[in-house]
Structure 1
Amino acid sequence: MHIPDNYLSPASCAVLAVAAAPVIVLSVKKVKVQLKENKELAPMLGIAASLSFLLMMFNVPVPGGTTAHAVGGTLLAILIGPYAASLALTVALLLQAFLFGDGGILALGANIFNMAIVMPFVGYAIYSLFRKHHQETLGVIVGSYLSINAAAFLAGVELGLQPLIASEAGQPLYNPYGLSITVPAMLGAHLLVAGWVEAFFTVVIYRFVKQVAPAELYTPSTVNTTSFVKKIRWVLLALIVLSPLGLLANGTAFGEWSAEELGSLLHGKVPTGIKNGFSFEALFSDYTIPGTKIAIGYILSAVTAVLIFYIISKIIRSMNGEKTSHA
């Protein structure tokens, strides 16, 4: 679901970035208020970003020879609230793009809008509706399943509109596939496979938290603490160790092909905007570490990301250290 650079026109990237910006700004303001009430939210932000990052490393095969992955948007919203979840997902997406080359730099606005805004807010709204009727677990399943499919649908629409809005002499400049292909491809992969993977991870971790620290689940009227942070670190460790399983899925996710891969699909007819577009070489592209085996590089990439999120959370906590915690 990570849209690469040059698959969306610059205008599309700008529009989606402008659409995402107010929500992120509002999320920052909301989280600042929460941090004033409870500085212990800071490590929770680091845990949340780590959870999402690690879940996105587990690629699974989908029909058509491509792959997909979970995101954890609804899970994070259930744990720390939709606004904090939106920020944690945004940080995870920024790190993926700049350090690991997963998702485009220019397309960050689109990826943030789809995965860091639509997913946590849609998923949490559905979960809250079911919770009001005392059907929390069902709300977790339905919310997580529908939220990732909502994000996939939007990604399919964004990609599929490109031949209509950005072409030259009748030839697409960016993503070459229209809505009749992109929407079914994105929705098919997520309705059939990725949505259930998302629901599985969400329910498993939700039940774990519900068992070890039920008071940690977010509600608008309570202030969360972090009594289960040490316990959930074991979940992170397990995900890190198991992360190379994500390498077992062969194929590139739909719409995330390199120019060379797309050229092989189109018999060399790569759209000009993709062939000659913006290029950014990430330090650890595709989660590989130079001089190491692929599996080891994958684990080291996971460890690196978690450490970065930990450092960021420590900085945020220290910046709010003078505030009084009510936890």
Structure 2
Amino acid sequence: MRAAPGVGEDIMHIPDGYLSPQTSAVFGVAMLPLWWQAARRVKKVVKSRYVPLVALGAAFSFVVMMFNIPIPDGTTAHAVGGGLIAILLGPWAACIAVSIALLIQALFFGDGGILAFPANAFNMAVVLPFVAYGVYRLLTRNTALTSGRRVWAGAVGAYVGLNMSALATAIEFGIQPDLFHKADGTPLYAPFHLSQAIPAMMFAHLIIAGFVEGVLTAGVVAYLQRANVPLLRINAPEVPLTEAEVRRKPVNPLRAALVALGITAVISPLGLLAPGGAFGEDTPEDLDLAKYHLSAVPEGLAKYTDFWGNTLLPGYGDGSWWQYILSALIGVVVVAAVVFGTTWLIGKVRGGEREAEDLDSPPVSAAAAAPQS
């Protein structure tokens, strides 16, 4: 059972019932090859010693998404952190990290639907990091790692990425009434048309959430330029380090990240202060039927809204600060564990593939292996 709007809810997690099963299936089919490619690329790009950073990135994304930000129209929104992870570790690593964070949110806390998980992953784990990283790379060509351009490029990339993610979500909402309705035109799932969904989603993210995502990303990039330049080079190995950057003793990234993550988890109840509900997250009994010219709750929405009822702490608890912190700590531990387990599994699968390739390859004779004169 999902929490009442405004308690641990936000504007970008699509709950079950608002998308048709057909729409969810399409996104599921689309995400499978993307997750597979992400697993392959992460193994190549992110070396094993950086796996803890992927885990920290996923945990950071999980906690950041718990901070609900009040919007002037009475709804809420949140940052994601996907652009930051993409800049530091690459968009494929961000795809894995944010997907895992979203999955744990849905399974354990009912934040976003299980059926809608592939769509949520597409919006926040694919569109956001890839757009953010693309804009960042475009704006930082031929610049040093400590260039001020990288700071504002990170901000711009994250801002654009989050808003493109919000636009994708709005379109997914907005096409439901036109594609899935009864003979008399009554929507079966989300009752919001494009003319309603796009303004509502984009207003929140263009004026508030996008700036928060941008400032968050720029702040971390600026900090790393002073504290740990080599960390910025993980995903930019072609950029040489200056002599001064090589001599500078870096701050331990894991220690700094753990401290920041702990502080963020402890202050996460600040997200409870955001008043109001969120667009597209109303439970069936709270849906304003008159606003959308409905005589009853859409049949599909009523049918699938409680598809997953096994959440540990629905809506991150009962609204008390201690349950919110408990949810954050549980989420951080579980997300990190799943990341380590996933990367271990990827390593085992990739290792098996390499062994199979070696077995399938014909033996090379000593003569053939000798260098030719």
The TM-score with structure 1 as length reference comes to: 0.90
* Paired amino acid for 1:170: G
Q: Does 1:284 align with 2:317?
A: no
Asked whether 1:246 is paired with 2:271, we answer yes
Hey, what's the Cα distance between the residues in 2 that align with 1:190 and 1:234?
28
SS at 2:135's partner residue?
A: helix
What is the one-letter code of the residue matched to 2:315? D
What residue is the counterpart of 1:215 in the other structure?
230
Residue 317 (structure 1) shift: 6.8
TM-score, normalising length: structure 2: 0.80
Match in the other structure for 1:137: 151
> Residues of 2 paired with 1:197 and 1:79: CA distance?
18
- Which letter does structure 1 place at the counterpart of 2:299? T
Query: CA 1:265 to 1:240, structure 2 compared with 1: closer, same or farther past 3 Å?
Result: farther
Q: d(CA) in 1 for partners of 2:44 and 2:123?
A: 25
How far the C-alpha of 1:34 sits from its partner, in A, is: 3.5
Report deviation, 1:205. Answer: 2.0
The residue that corresponds to 1:201 in the other structure is: 216
**Displacement after TM superposition at 1:18 (Å):** 1.7
What letter is aligned with 1:126? Answer: V
**Structure 1 vs Structure 2 CA RMSD:** 2.3
Determine the structure 1 residue equivalent to 2:257: 232
Moved runs in structure 1, 4+ residues, more than 6 A? Answer: none
Partner of 2:9: none
User: Is the radius of gyration larger for structure 1 or structure 2?
Assistant: 2
Alignment gaps of 5+ in structure 1: none
Q: How does 1:28-47 map to 2 (within 5 A)?
A: 28-34=39-45, 38-47=47-56
Among 283, 286, 297, the alignment partner of 1:270 is 297
Secondary structure, counterpart of 1:3 in structure 2: coil
Aligned partner (choices 4, 22, 36) of residue 33 of structure 2: 22
Cα distance, 1:313 vs structure 2: 4.4
Matched, 1:6 2:17: yes
Q: Give the C-alpha shift of residue 41 in structure 1.
A: 1.7
8 A Cα contact 1:40 1:317, kept in partner: no
Task: Return the letter of the residue paired with 2:26.
Answer: V
Which of these residues, 169, 173, 176, is aligned with residue 162 of structure 1? 176
Q: Distance in 1 between matches of 2:343 and 2:100?
A: 16
Paired letter, 2:334: I
User: In the comparison of the two structures, how many residue pairs are matched?
Assistant: 316
Task: Report the equivalent of 1:296.
Answer: 322
The CA deviation at 1:316 is 5.6
Letter in 2 for 1:273: G
Q: Does 1:180 align with 2:195?
A: yes
Distance 2:290 2:55 in 1: 40
Q: Which residue of 23, 48, 57 corresponds with 2:66?
A: 57
Per-residue deviation, 1:318 = 6.3
**C-alpha distance after superposition, 1:229-248 (max 9, x if no partner):** 11111110110111000000
**One-letter identity of the residue aligned with 2:317:** T
Give per-residue Cα distances to partners, 1:275-304, cap 9 Å, x unaligned.
Answer: 122522212110017xxx710001011111
Uncovered stretches (5+) of structure 2, i.e. residues with no partner: 1-11, 144-148, 240-249, 352-373
